[in-house]
Amino acid sequence: MAVRKVLKYGEKSLREKSKEVHKVSRKITDLVQDLLDTMYAQNGVGLAAPQIGVNLRVFVIDVSSNDEPLRPIVFINPKIIKKSGAIVSEEGCLSFPEAYTKVKRYKNVMVKALDIHGHSFVTEANDGSLLARAIQHENDHLDGILFIDHCMNRFDTESTLEKFNLPPLEADKLLEEPELEQELNDN
Radius of gyration of the chain (CA): 16
Pick between residue 93 and residue 151 the one whose CB is nearest to Zn ion: 93
Beta carbon of residue 146, minimum distance to Zn ion (angstroms, whole number): 7
Pick between residue 130 and residue 183 the one whose CB is nearest to Zn ion: 130
| Residue 117: closest CA among 35, 24, 49 | 24
Catalytic residue among 68, 138, 170, 179: 138
Pick between residue 88 and residue 118 the one whose CB is nearest to Zn ion: 88
Beta carbon of residue 80, minimum distance to Zn ion (angstroms, whole number): 16
Q: What residues form DSSP beta bridges with 125?
A: 109
Pick between residue 91 and residue 114 the one whose CB is nearest to Zn ion: 91
30-37: Cβ within 8 A, 24+ apart: 30/1, 31/56, 31/58, 32/58, 32/60, 32/74, 32/76, 32/116, 33/1, 34/1, 34/2, 34/3, 34/4, 35/59, 35/60, 36/60, 36/62, 36/72, 37/1, 37/2, 37/3, 37/4
Q: Is 138 a catalytic residue?
A: yes
List of residues contacting Zn ion (CB under 5 A)? 93
Beta carbon of residue 97, minimum distance to Zn ion (angstroms, whole number): 11
Q: How far is CA 10 from CA 15, 70, 94, 182, in A?
A: 9, 31, 13, 31
Beta carbon of residue 137, minimum distance to Zn ion (angstroms, whole number): 5
Q: Catalytic site residues?
A: 138
